[in-house]
Amino acid sequence: MRILVAEDDAYVRQLLKKTLLRAGYDVLEATDGRAALECLLSVDGPRLVLLDRFMPELNGLSLCREIRRCTKHSYVYIIFLTSKGCKEDVLSGLAAGADDCLTKPCNPQELKALLRAGERILKLEDTIVHDALHDPLTRLPNRPFFLDRLSLSVSRGKRHPDYKFAVLFVDIDNFRVVNDSLGNAAGDWLLTQFAERLGRSIRREDAISRSMNAGPTLDRQDGGGILARLGGDRFTILLDDIQDPSDGIRVAERIQRNIQCPFAIDGQEVFITASTGIAFGSTGCSAAENVLSDAFTAMNRAKALGKSRYEVCDPVMHAAAVGRFRLETDLRRALEREEFRAYYQPIVSLGDGRITGFEALMRWQRPKFGLVMPSGFISVTEDTGLILGMGNWVLRKACRQLCVWNKQFPSNRAFTVAVNLSARQFAQPDLVGQIAQILYESGVAPFDLRLELTESVTMEDEERAARIFGELKTLGVRLCLDDFGTGYSSLSYLRRFSLDVLKIDRSFVSDMVSNTESREIVKTILRLGGNLGIEVIAEGVETAEQVSLLQSLGCEYAQGYFFSEPLDQSDVAQTLLLLGASDYSMPQGFPIQAVSPASQ
């Protein structure tokens, strides 16, 4: 137990400290009243204090009164130190709020006895406080406790715009029937069992595995949540610091699942269901009571709509949260159900119109939704870590496909294939090993594989990025900086990380014909690439004007709808067949797109 000795006389302080240390206390010291007060009122400050009557800054009596005024703080047990024979000091000390008095010089036996009495009082206080904030039946936090925590979340939400939390209001359906037919004791037993299953439902297994996958950088503090019993068969859950509203839905789904199994009561199996209302709190929310009442209203709607279900307070939010939850659920199955597709967009040499390679771009054939573009799912797979499995899949797929084409369409130079790698994939500890393995399995020559990265991959840890880049280069793989010009570190970046290819971002290419500023940027990038011996590809080329401007600026390679949209593998093969036997170049000004439009 920690104890504060507030005493300005160094000699007395040392004597007391010695006795206390010998008795097993953890001793803190203060030499004036102000410091003592600060120490006692700090978070997790000591709850036992030996307080001298006379001290600089703030005397013992004022300090006593000050502490007793702070009712929010846990109780501090105060032993007042007075001089021998001064009865008045004792009385004024007790009147100011001290719990006991001890005359100096202190008798060690007497001191220890007083401290033991103090500890007993503090323990009792803890029990009282605990009981006041907990439900005796389930031992869960009660309504005041819950509201207190909820208001902390509400005020945190006001300070941090990104902070989100959810409140779930869970009510057992037809609980009265159980109570009336089986008796109150059975009802109580059911409530404790139910509470236990709710507790299990808020443990965030997937949140934990998510942050583990993300590596140390994305690590979040996932406290799980606070489960409380408001009274009767009503329970509430506070999910603190969630990433997305769908996290609330996930817990609600888990509750439904966890209460499906029957409850054993007096040798009987009892089936119950529950209705859950969900409310979300973020920057705009006003008070704890309002969030709770939103969740309550949503719970009532769940009851009205037929019970055994969950509802979100705001219908728009409901649709969004459920939509995101389904998206995530579907994505989790997409890989094993082989719903992902790799599309390939040709990269064309502006000198002779020859196709030099392809960029692999992911699509998702989602049942009932059709072909989904990356903008509809990539960010979710990054949040959930699903990108890791998916990324490996597309890498393997693209490498195999490249081998097939290089055999089927032998040309002077082999085609290359570019695969996108997101920051999260880049953060994997065994990235290089995985890539080496895939290269080995597929038989692709390492220098025909290009990894497309954005500047974001190096933001977390430049040292590591430089090392991985080096290892990949040693492997023989080519590195390509995607979306170039949109980041901020441009020049120094190129020097530091020896890159092979730059891709000029589509935004500059698309308006370079009309906008001089964009044209200047494109020119600068081309010059930069030329000076550093880096290959440059212009992305998003859509018009003949753009092609001729790029040619006049000396840009060697381009990619875009003008030549071809991303195509599936059979459309690529068909295009190559049409283009002819040896060089696969398209006639000047003749877009491949006209030959084989991709159906998207």
Residue 446 partner contact from ligand C2E, Ca ion, none using kind-dependent CB cut-offs of 5 to 8 Å: none
Q: Least distance in Å: CB of 373 to Ca ion?
A: 14
Task: Find the part of the chain contacting Ca ion (CB under 5 A) among 144-152, 157-165, 255-263, 452-460.
Answer: 452-460
Report the C-alpha gap between 575 and 568 in whole angstroms. 11
> Does 566 contact ligand C2E by CB under 6 A?
yes
Q: Least distance in Å: CB of 239 to ligand C2E?
A: 29
Q: Least distance in Å: CB of 346 to ligand C2E?
A: 10
Site for ligand C2E in 422-441 (CB under 6 A): 422
Measuring CA to CA, which residue among 219, 276, 286 is closest to residue 252?
Answer: 276
Let me know: does 453 contact 421? Beta carbons within 8 Å: yes
Which of 99, 505 has the CB closer to ligand C2E? 505
Residue 393 partner contact from Ca ion, ligand C2E, none using kind-dependent CB cut-offs of 5 to 8 Å: none
Which of 294, 452 has the CB closer to Ca ion? 452
Measuring CA to CA, which residue among 466, 434, 426 is closest to residue 218?
Answer: 426
Which of 245, 560 has the CB closer to ligand C2E? 560
Report the C-alpha gap between 122 and 567 in whole angstroms. 74
Q: Is 448 exposed, middle or buried (0-12, 13-18, 19+ CB in 10 A)?
A: buried
Q: What is the 3-state secondary structure (H, E, C) of 157-184?
A: HHHCCCCCEEEEEEEECCHHHHHHHHCH
Report the C-alpha gap between 377 and 361 in whole angstroms. 13
Report the C-alpha gap between 341 and 337 in whole angstroms. 11
Q: Is 79 exposed, middle or buried (0-12, 13-18, 19+ CB in 10 A)?
A: buried
Q: Least distance in Å: CB of 359 to Ca ion?
A: 6
Which of 75, 493 has the CB closer to Ca ion? 493
Which of 164, 506 has the CB closer to ligand C2E? 506
From 27, 101, 378, 501, residue interacting with ligand C2E (rule: CB under 6 A): 378
Strand order in the sheet with 310-312: 225-231, 234-239, 165-172, 274-281, 310-312
Q: Any idea what the Cα angle at residue 385 is, between residues 384 and 388, rounded to 5°?
A: 150
| φ and ψ of 263, to 5 deg | -95, 135
Task: Find the part of the chain contacting Ca ion (CB under 5 A) among 197-205, 279-287, 350-358, 449-457.
Answer: 449-457
Site for ligand C2E in 446-475 (CB under 6 A): 452
> Does 361 contact ligand C2E by CB under 6 A?
yes
Q: Which residue is nearest to Ca ion (CB)?
A: 452
Let me know: does 244 contact 324? Beta carbons within 8 Å: yes
Q: Least distance in Å: CB of 374 to ligand C2E?
A: 3
Task: Find the part of the chain contacting ligand C2E (CB under 6 A) among 130-138, 146-154, 521-529, 540-548.
Answer: 540-548
Residue 249 partner contact from Ca ion, ligand C2E, none using kind-dependent CB cut-offs of 5 to 8 Å: none
> Does 374 contact ligand C2E by CB under 6 A?
yes
Residue 313 partner contact from ligand C2E, Ca ion, none using kind-dependent CB cut-offs of 5 to 8 Å: none
Which of 345, 575 has the CB closer to ligand C2E? 345
Residue 361 partner contact from ligand C2E, Ca ion, none using kind-dependent CB cut-offs of 5 to 8 Å: ligand C2E
Let me know: does 394 contact 438? Beta carbons within 8 Å: no
Q: Any idea what the Cα angle at residue 336 is, between residues 330 and 341, rounded to 5°?
A: 80
Residue 25 neighbours by CB under 8 Å, 6+ apart: 1, 2, 3, 48, 115
Q: Which residue intervals of 134-165 are DSSP H helices?
A: 143-159
Structure tokens at 527: 């010059």
How many angstroms separate the Cα of 187 from the Cα of each of 176, 179, 231, 233, 379? 9, 5, 13, 9, 46
Q: Least distance in Å: CB of 508 to Ca ion?
A: 11
Q: Least distance in Å: CB of 543 to ligand C2E?
A: 9
From 171, 241, 452, 455, residue interacting with Ca ion (rule: CB under 5 A): 452
Site for ligand C2E in 489-518 (CB under 6 A): 506
From 560, 579, 585, 586, residue interacting with ligand C2E (rule: CB under 6 A): 560
From 240, 483, 556, 571, residue interacting with ligand C2E (rule: CB under 6 A): 483
Binding residues for ligand C2E, total number by CB under 6 A: 23
- Looking up tokens 């964009």, which residue turns up? 518
From 48, 227, 259, 394, residue interacting with ligand C2E (rule: CB under 6 A): 394
> Does 455 contact Ca ion by CB under 5 A?
no
Measuring CA to CA, which residue among 207, 289, 199, 198 is closest to residue 244?
Answer: 207
Q: Which amino acid is at 544?
A: A
Q: Least distance in Å: CB of 579 to Ca ion?
A: 23
> Does 89 contact Ca ion by CB under 5 A?
no
Which residues are near Ca ion by CB under 5 A? 420, 452, 482-483
Which residues are near ligand C2E by CB under 6 A? 345, 361-362, 373-375, 378, 391, 394, 420-422, 452, 482-483, 506, 540-542, 559-561, 566
